[in-house]
């Protein structure tokens, strides 16, 4: 049984995005090393074309996994204000496979390094055992 840190009903407390741009359902894990999220691709997702979810949506899913993870961690700090994060750069992007509607995406983010308020992360989105997209992002926390 998977224990969710943040369920779908509460995810908006931790990310700035709103429907129809929410590309993450639940946060499964979050610590100083990284984050894990899940996302079911629904039929009415605005990034679906010919039954396939676009690569841009999966990259957004990785970014929102970071937003949820950093948001969740900052919520654990006493007297802390939620911090907004911005994508500073996306590098080393690799696209491996497409994903269709009703698929479940699990996205793992590893925090590679941190310098001041800039986090270098490596994210990989997977469907079952298939890698979908892998990339690095520089996330700047405000």
Partner 1 sequence: MKMERSEIISVTKKFLSEEFEVDIETIEDDGNLRDTLDLDSLDYVDLVVLIEENLGFKPTAEDFKTVATFNDFYNLVEQKLMNV
Q: Footprint of partner 1 on this chain (CB under 8 A)?
A: 88-89, 112-116, 118-120, 138, 140
Q: Which two tokens stand for residue 32?
A: 């100083």
Find out whether 22 and 63 touch, Cβ atoms under 8 Å: no
Residue number with CB closer to partner 1 (80 or 91): 91
| Least spacing, CB of residue 129 vs partner 1, in Å | 29
| Least spacing, CB of residue 66 vs partner 1, in Å | 14
The sheet that has 26-31: what strands, in order across it?
A: 26-31, 34-40, 104-115, 118-127, 130-141, 85-95
Residue number with CB closer to partner 1 (102 or 114): 114
Residue number with CB closer to partner 1 (18 or 115): 115
| Least spacing, CB of residue 32 vs partner 1, in Å | 15
| Least spacing, CB of residue 46 vs partner 1, in Å | 29
Residue number with CB closer to partner 1 (4 or 124): 124
């Amino acid at each position: 049984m998977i224990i969710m840190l943040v369920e779908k009903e509460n995810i908006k407390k931790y990310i700035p995005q709103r429907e129809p741009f929410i590309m993450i359902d639940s946060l499964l894990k979050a610590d100083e090393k990284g984050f894990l999220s899940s996302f079911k691709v629904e039929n009415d997702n605005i990034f679906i074309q010919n039954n396939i979810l676009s690569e841009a949506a999966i990259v957004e899913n990785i970014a929102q996994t970071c937003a949820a993870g950093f948001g969740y961690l900052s919520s654990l700090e006493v007297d802390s204000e939620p911090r907004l994060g911005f994508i500073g750069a996306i590098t080393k992007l690799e696209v491996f496979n497409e994903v269709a509607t009703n698929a479940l995406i699990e996205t793992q983010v590893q925090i590679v390094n941190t310098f001041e308020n800039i986090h270098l992360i490596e994210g990989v989105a997977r469907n079952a055992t298939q890698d979908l997209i892998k990339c690095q992002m520089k996330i700047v926390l405000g």
